[in-house]
């Protein structure tokens, strides 16, 4: 993080500039970056990338994405090294030795953040992923509302049964735990089909994607209590603070909600979820994440008809998302601006 200068932090010391980058100027492309008023004793990260433009892509990155990243690096004149580059694109800290900047090709950084020195710039990829996750949530909410499983079974058995047709829900409220880019996209998608959406966040800071936002400390407030909440979505990263955050006490606030977890499996323990299902606090759980992953075949969750499990597919990262995120971050670093995708190391996201 930016703070007292160290040998490494001086290598990416950045300061605001009055004007934004002109991306049409070939002299300002990432491979030929200008100097950002370097400290006398050490070059800035932009200067380092101009004079020694090196990048490494970890062996942990799958082949399709790896090929796209190597093409991107070649296009921008970045020398490609196996290890020891200025910029390391990886999910594993062992591939990031001596890097001044590490970029995660995914949104999650729980394996990187604790292992990297605080003075290493850590950025992550989101791209279009929030809207794909929002689409996943909306698909499963509507699938339950429209009794999709029932009608698929009827269709397979040539059964015409118009009894008990899908009806509008008698509860129109949703709660989204986590109000970052993913949580905001989910809130907007649920609002589009008639839900009033309350967000829960660390700070409770208002956000126009939500009808209201409450801090975690007020999760038991009357604003959340009662039978008005129909959908509960967990959109939390994995951090020490979010592990086990969805407690039995919190779930006592709700009654027969559809719980969807698209964040991290560590947010709610298996015993807690099973207890809430058995007690009727949760009527159905749709889980795209688990703890651990892959979910143990012996887990009781596999054998419950009131649980749907998908193998962490809602937020797949596209190669174009990674390239776009890197381009934006490089331009911001070069312009003396802390990248919007930079991870706040004290929070872990």
Q: pLDDT, tens digit, for every residue of 122-149? A: 999 999 999 999 999 999 999 999 999 9
One domain for residues 87 and 158? no
Band of the pLDDT at 5, cuts 50, 70, 90?
Answer: very low
Alpha-carbon torsion 192, 266, 283, 311, what sign?
positive
* Short-list 147, 166, 132, 131, CA closest to 310: 132
Q: Is the pLDDT of residue 277 over 90?
A: yes
- Residue 349 counted as domain residue: no
Per-residue pLDDT, 76: 82
Q: Which residues, 6+ apart, have CB-to-CB distance to 186 below 8 Å? A: 130, 133, 134, 137, 176, 233, 235, 262
**pLDDT tens string 146-205:** 999 999 999 999 999 999 999 988 899 999 999 999 999 999 999 999 999 999 999 999
The size of the chain, in residues, is: 349
Q: Which of 145, 256, 312, 338 is catalytic?
A: 312
Mean pLDDT of 208-214: 97
- Assess contact for 229 and 180: CB atoms under 8 A: no
Burial code (b: 16+ CB inside 10 Å, e: under 16) for 289-298 equals bbbeeebeee
Q: In terms of domains, do 32 and 112 share one?
A: yes
As a whole number, mean pLDDT of residues 58-87 equals 91
What is the rounded average pLDDT of the residues 254-262? 97
Give the whole-number percent of the chain exceeding pLDDT 90: 71
Q: Quick one: pLDDT at residue 346?
A: 86
pLDDT exceeds cutoff 70 at 300 = yes
Catalytic residue among 264, 281, 334, 345: 264
Is 312 marked active-site?
yes
Please indicate whether residue 124 is annotated as part of the active site.
no
- Please say if 218 is a catalytic residue: no
String of DSSP letters for 72-123: HHHHTTPEE-SS--SEEE-SSGGG-TT-SEEE-SSS--TTTGGGS-TTSEEE
Model confidence at 103: pLDDT above 80: yes
Is 189 strand, coil or helix? helix
The count of domains in the chain is 2
Per-residue pLDDT, 12: 45
Choose, from 67, 94, 218, 293, the residue flagged as catalytic.
293
The verdict on 271 and 123 lying in the same domain is no
178 & 138 share domain: yes
pTM for the model stands at: 0.83
Residue 289 and residue 203 in one domain: yes
62 and 90 share a domain? yes
Tell me the β-bridge partners of 121.
101
Least confident of 43-52, 86-95, 233-242: 43-52
| Residue 21 sits in the same domain as residue 83 | yes
Percent of the chain whose pLDDT exceeds 70 = 87
Looking up residue 227, the CATH number of its domain turns out to be 3.40.50.720
Range of the domain at 256: 129-309
- Do 122 and 133 lie in a common domain? no
Residue 340 lies in a domain: no
Inform me whether the pLDDT recorded for 215 exceeds 70: yes
């Amino acid at each position: 993080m930016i703070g007292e200068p160290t040998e490494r932090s001086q290598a990416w010391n950045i300061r605001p500039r009055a004007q934004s980058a002109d991306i049409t100027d070939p002299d300002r492309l990432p491979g030929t970056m200008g100097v950002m008023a370097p400290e006398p004793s050490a070059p800035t990260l932009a200067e380092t990338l101009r004079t020694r433009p090196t990048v490494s892509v970890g062996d942990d990155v799958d082949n399709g994405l790896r090929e796209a990243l190597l093409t991107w690096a070649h296009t921008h004149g970045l020398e490609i090294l196996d290890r020891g580059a200025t910029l390391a694109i990886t999910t594993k800290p062992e591939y990031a030795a001596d890097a001044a900047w590490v970029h995660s090709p995914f949104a999650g950084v729980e394996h990187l953040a604790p292992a990297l020195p605080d003075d290493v710039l850590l950025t992550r990829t989101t791209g279009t992923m929030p809207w794909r996750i929002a689409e996943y949530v909306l698909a499963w909410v509507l699938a339950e509302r429209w009794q999709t499983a029932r009608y698929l079974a009827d269709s397979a058995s040539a059964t015409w049964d118009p009894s008990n047709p899908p009806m509008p829900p008698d509860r129109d409220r949703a709660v989204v735990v986590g109000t970052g880019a993913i949580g905001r996209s989910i809130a907007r998608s649920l609002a589009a089909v008639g839900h009033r959406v309350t967000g829960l966040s660390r700070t409770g800071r208002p956000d126009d994607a939500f009808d209201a936002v409450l801090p975690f400390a007020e999760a038991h407030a009357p604003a959340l209590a009662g039978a008005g909440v129909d959908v509960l979505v967990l959109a939390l990263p994995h951090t020490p603070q979010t592990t086990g955050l969805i407690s039995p006490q919190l779930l006592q606030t709700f009654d027969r909600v559809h719980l969807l977890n698209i964040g991290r499996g560590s947010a709610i323990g298996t015993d807690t979820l099973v207890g809430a299902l058995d007690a009727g606090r949760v009527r159905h759980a749709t889980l795209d994440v688990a703890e651990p992953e892959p979910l143990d075949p012996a887990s009781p969750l596999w054998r419950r008809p009131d649980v749907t499990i998908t193998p962490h597919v809602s937020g797949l990262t596209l190669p174009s998302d990674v390239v776009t995120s890197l381009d934006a971050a490089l331009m911001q670093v070069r312009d003396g601006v802390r990248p919007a995708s930079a991870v706040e190391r004290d929070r872990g996201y």
